[in-house]
């Protein structure tokens, strides 16, 4: 099945009270796993690329593999640039045929974030592509952007309403206490803040740092307006856990078989997340 638009996918998800799983992938194995998980659950997904993996794969190759595997499996999927940091990066992924992009200007002051996001929207519209913006700062490292401890900040609902109206974005990533990476303590998710944002913003909302967030909290976030949830850390944990089971002094690295256990663990974790987000 051809790659689809992300904006329609997310609007329907928010209207139906569910969220779409957005998987950050890093190679052909992970992209193929995402397509198989979507096929087995009969649910739409988003396959995301990060600029951090650009030198391993490249935007054109990434999109080509996503299209190849979704076409082969019949999965419904969109491709998205996650956490682009410059307009040049955005242009590279748009030129490669990505139907959705994000320039993460959240580390900048509000006015600069708004300017960069507005310019991203202008670039994307020329390619008939969608744009995700971000307001507030999510703790941790994602792509080549890091927010250290003490600098995270929750999204302001009033600012969010102005940002959406003035930038023209199709979806908005919000900061409510999730992190990029592994939680170091009990997750403290600000659901009241999310509810206030959703009351001011009608477009689909995005939750970054979905890995490790408790299932009941995830369901509550979806109920309050989250329509897209990013997952990466749990995918890498599943993949590395599978590799750990098969690596040893007596392991014979037979092509096509060596990675099979890790691949199945990765697919299983993806299915788990897809079903969790669809069941809210």
Q: Does pTM top 0.85 for this prediction?
A: yes
Q: Tell me, yes or no, whether 1 lies in a domain.
A: no
pLDDT score for 151: 37
Catalytic residue chosen out of the listed positions 7, 27, 82, 104: 82
Q: In terms of residue numbers, what domain contains 123?
A: 6-278
**Predicted pLDDT at 243:** 85
Does the active-site annotation cover 82? yes
Residue 102 CA: distances (Å) to CA of 13, 17, 69, 78, 207:
19, 24, 23, 14, 14
Exposed/middle/buried for residue 52 (C-beta within 10 Å: 0-12, 13-18, 19+): middle
Domain count, the chain: 1
Q: Are 82 and 48 in contact (CB under 8 A)?
A: yes
Q: What is the pLDDT of residue 144?
A: 47
Q: What is the CATH number of the domain that holds 219?
A: 3.20.20.70
How confident is the prediction along the chain (280 residues), in pLDDT tens digits per residue?
789 999 999 999 999 999 999 999 999 999 999 999 999 999 999 999 998 877 788 999 999 999 999 999 999 999 999 999 899 999 999 999 999 999 999 888 999 999 999 999 999 999 999 999 999 866 544 444 444 344 357 899 999 999 999 999 999 999 998 775 544 556 678 899 999 999 999 999 999 988 888 899 999 999 999 999 999 999 999 999 988 877 766 666 666 677 888 999 999 999 999 999 998 7
Q: Which tokens belong to 126?
A: 């020329």
Q: What is the pLDDT of residue 258?
A: 79
Question: Which pLDDT score is estimated for 146?
Answer: 41
DSSP assignment of 122-133: HHHHHTT-EEEE
């Amino acid at each position: 099945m051809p790659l689809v638009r992300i904006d329609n996918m997310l609007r329907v998800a928010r209207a139906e009270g569910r969220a779409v799983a957005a998987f950050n992938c890093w190679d052909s194995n992970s992209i193929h796993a995402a397509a198989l998980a979507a096929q087995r659950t009969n649910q739409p997904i988003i396959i995301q690329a990060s600029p951090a993996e650009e030198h391993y794969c490249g935007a054109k190759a990434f999109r080509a593999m996503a299209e190849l595997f979704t076409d082969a499996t019949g999965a419904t999927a969109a491709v998205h640039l996650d956490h682009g940091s410059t307009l040049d990066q955005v242009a590279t992924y748009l030129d490669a045929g990505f139907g959705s992009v994000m320039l993460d200007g959240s580390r900048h002051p509000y006015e600069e974030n708004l300017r960069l996001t507005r310019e991203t929207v202008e670039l994307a519209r020329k390619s008939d592509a969608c744009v995700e913006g971000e307001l507030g700062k999510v703790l941790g490292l994602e792509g080549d952007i890091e927010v250290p401890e003490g600098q995270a900040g929750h999204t302001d609902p009033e600012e969010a309403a102005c940002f959406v109206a003035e930038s023209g974005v199709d979806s908005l990533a919000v900061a409510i206490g999730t992190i990029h990476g592994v939680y170091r303590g009990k997750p403290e998710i600000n659901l009241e803040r999310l509810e206030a944002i959703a009351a001011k913003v009608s477009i689909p909302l995005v939750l970054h740092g979905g890995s490790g967030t408790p299932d009941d909290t995830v369901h509550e976030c979806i109920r309050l307006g989250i329509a897209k949830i990013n997952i990466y850390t749990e995918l890498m944990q599943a993949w590395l856990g599978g590799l750990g089971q098969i690596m040893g002094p007596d392991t014979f690295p037979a092509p096509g078989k060596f990675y099979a256990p890790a691949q199945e663990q990765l697919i299983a974790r993806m299915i788990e997340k897809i079903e969790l987000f669809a069941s809210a």
